[in-house]
Structure 1
Amino acid sequence: MFSRVESVLSAKGLGLDYLFFVKDCAIDLSLVGIVCTRDDGSVKIIAEGQEDNLVKFVERTKQRNATHPIENFYLKWGKYTGEFKEFTTDCGHH
């Protein structure tokens, strides 16, 4: 089943390398969506794809922060929308 997940997380030391790590994980799991840095420095992720791959994706993106513990984490599951055709990285602030 296709599904959608939206998450926002913050941790000290999350930089561009983390955004590209998230993108690589998404592509590896055949997911589409976007990862971006928000004005407050937190990272927002929207991903769509197979539900089992989304579960793996969430775990991978959380594990990457072993050296930079997550201070805040928000996760919301939703219905697949087909909004995205690929997974992109937006390095600007939103």
Structure 2
Amino acid sequence: MIQLHIIVSGKVQSVGYRYFSQMKAVQYGVTGWAKNLSDGSVEIMAKGEKDDLDAFVADLKVGNPFSKIEHMEIKEVEETEDFHSFTIKY
């Protein structure tokens, strides 16, 4: 299992991007969470197998029809949490 910390910048708030990320996480069997940050970006913590995470990240880069992805920062981090699903944090 691999855990990624992702920051997505662009038009990603108020366009359903967190829900889009949750839908894609469920599709690929990825666990973790997504939340809005005060600077207008979205933070995602995602855990899964490499192939599933690769597909998940590829879809995040495209976004949903209402979002516009300008930049993604992706870092592999040490596994510190055991997630049971993919949730949206408020």
Where on the TM-score scale, by shorter chain, does this alignment land: which range? 0.7 to 0.9
- Residue in 1 that maps onto 2:28: 29
**Aligned-pair RMSD on alpha carbons?**
2.0
Shift of 1:55: 0.7
Shift of 1:22: 0.2
- Residue in 1 that maps onto 2:8: 9
Structure 2 unmatched runs, 5+: none
Instruction: Find out whether 1:77 has 2:66 as its counterpart.
Output: no
Q: Give the TM-score normalised by the residue count of structure 2.
A: 0.85
Q: Give the TM-score normalised by the residue count of structure 1.
A: 0.82
Q: Distance in 2 between matches of 1:28 and 1:80?
A: 21
Q: Distance in 1 between matches of 2:8 and 2:83?
A: 21
Shift of 1:13: 5.1
- For the 8 Å contact 1:5–1:48, the answer to whether it is kept is yes
Identity in percent: 29
Misfit runs of 4+, over 6 Å: none
Aligned length in residues = 90
